């Protein structure tokens, strides 16, 4: 269940002193994306200042609830039954993260899930900064077809063995991050580091354990809940303004490939009190797309109507601080 291995690395050439002195490349698998969802497995690859692997660690985590989309992560209730609770691994996890920059693909998601688990445990994760590899690939101008981990891995010739397995996803990301870091150093690129603030908003809404055939309201072949998504209860407050906050009731549309499954992003938006729109109109508050120049009907209409556009990473950050609707 727990695995630890230390690897030796050669002493590399001099490195920019302004760069961080160590990184924790993280991947977590979860029961879903809502505030009441839980971590069910976690992996950390610790890297030195130059991106060389120091060691790695992996654990299962018993979420004390239904495991969610088993057909994606492969972790059943039976597999997780004897796993430690998050409170049991919180100290070891913290030791792996301490004094390092958290690195993840779509890092805002991993950070929020980790921060909520520590909030439930009445503790604080020892993370002060995070680095999203999606943002770094954009800073480097990598010619990727989309922002999925598999595309970043393929660009650097890294072979994925078990997609959606936390340990292998963390390994893949660590191997892809190393050449990205070296390219950034060689090009004098400023790393897109963001502050990690502890979260206090989380939920422990009871979710029943399910038997085979259904998992917490999800169905096989899709991340979308089998129930019909409820109508947004808040009025549309208008368009999103750059640099501002999202507000409950805003109409949000999505276009193109995303690193996170589209249905899960839509569920997160709904959970935050936003109105998920299937089409784009003059009433749309915001379009989320990683490729604004793709020429899709939604991006074309966004240009025509002057609809604000943000990418997936920026949207994930905005979801962490959604303004309540008037009177809410």
pLDDT of residue 225: 41
Q: Residue 54 and residue 204: Cα distance in Å, rounded?
A: 36
Residue-level pLDDT at 11: 52
Confidence (pLDDT) at 219: 40
Predicted TM-score of the model (pTM): 0.68
CA distance 75 to 281: 40
**Other residues' Cβ atoms within 10 Å of the Cβ of residue 276:** 17
pLDDT of residue 313: 81
First vs last C-alpha separation in the chain: 44
Are 57 and 92 a contacting pair, CB within 8 Å? yes
Say if residues 49 and 21 touch (Cβ distance below 8 Å): yes
Q: What confidence score (pLDDT) does residue 231 get?
A: 84
**What does the alpha-carbon distance between residue 326 and residue 2 come to, in Å, rounded to a whole number?**
47
Helix (H) or strand (E) holding 172: helix 166-187
Extract the runs of DSSP E, i.e. beta strands, from the chain. Answer: 3-6, 22-30, 39-48, 53-60, 101-104, 129-132, 193-195, 251-255, 275-276, 286-289, 309-310
- At residue 44, the pLDDT reads 98
Report pLDDT for 204: 58
pLDDT values of the chain reduced to their tens digit, one per residue, 328 residues: 555 444 445 455 567 888 999 999 999 999 887 778 899 999 999 999 999 999 999 999 999 999 988 888 889 999 999 999 999 999 999 999 999 999 999 888 899 899 999 999 999 999 999 999 999 999 999 999 888 899 999 999 999 999 889 999 999 999 999 999 999 999 999 999 988 887 765 555 555 444 333 334 444 333 334 346 678 899 999 999 988 999 999 999 998 877 676 777 888 888 889 999 989 999 999 999 887 877 788 999 999 999 999 988 888 888 888 999 887 6
What's the pLDDT score for residue 171?
97
């Amino acid at each position: 269940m727990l695995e630890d291995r230390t690897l030796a690395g050669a002493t590399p050439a001099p490195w920019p002193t302004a760069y961080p002195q160590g990184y924790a490349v993280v991947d977590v698998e979860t029961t879903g994306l809502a505030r009441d969802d839980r971590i069910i497995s976690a992996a950390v690859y610790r890297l030195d200042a130059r991106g060389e692997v120091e060691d790695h660690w992996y654990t299962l985590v018993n979420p004390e609830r239904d495991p969610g989309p088993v057909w994606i992560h492969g972790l059943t209730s039976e597999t997780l039954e004897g796993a430690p609770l998050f409170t049991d691994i919180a100290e070891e996890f913290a030791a792996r993260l301490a004094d390092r920059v958290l690195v993840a693909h779509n890092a805002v998601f991993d950070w929020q899930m980790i921060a909520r688990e520590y909030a439930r445990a009445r503790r604080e994760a020892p993370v002060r900064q995070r680095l999203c590899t999606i943002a770094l690939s954009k800073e480097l101008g990598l010619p990727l077809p989309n922002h999925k981990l598999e595309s970043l891995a393929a660009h650097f010739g890294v072979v994925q063995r078990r997609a959606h397995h936390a340990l292998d996803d963390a390994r893949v990301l660590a191997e892809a991050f190393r050449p990205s870091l070296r390219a950034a150093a060689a090009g004098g690129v400023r790393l897109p580091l963001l502050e990690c603030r502890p979260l206090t908003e989380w939920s422990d809404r009871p979710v029943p354990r399910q038997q085979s055939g259904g998992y917490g309201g999800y169905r096989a072949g899709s991340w979308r809940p089998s129930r019909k998504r409820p109508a947004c209860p808040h009025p549309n407050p208008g368009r999103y303004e750059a640099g501002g906050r999202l507000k409950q009731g805003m109409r949000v549309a999505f276009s193109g490939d995303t690193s996170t499954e589209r249905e899960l992003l839509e569920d997160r938006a709904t959970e935050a009190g936003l109105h998920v729109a299937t089409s784009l109109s003059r009433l749309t508050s915001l379009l989320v797309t990683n490729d604004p120049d793709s020429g899709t009907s939604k991006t074309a209409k966004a240009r025509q109507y002057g609809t604000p556009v943000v990418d997936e990473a920026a949207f994930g950050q905005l979801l962490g601080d959604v303004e309540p609707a008037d009177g809410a």
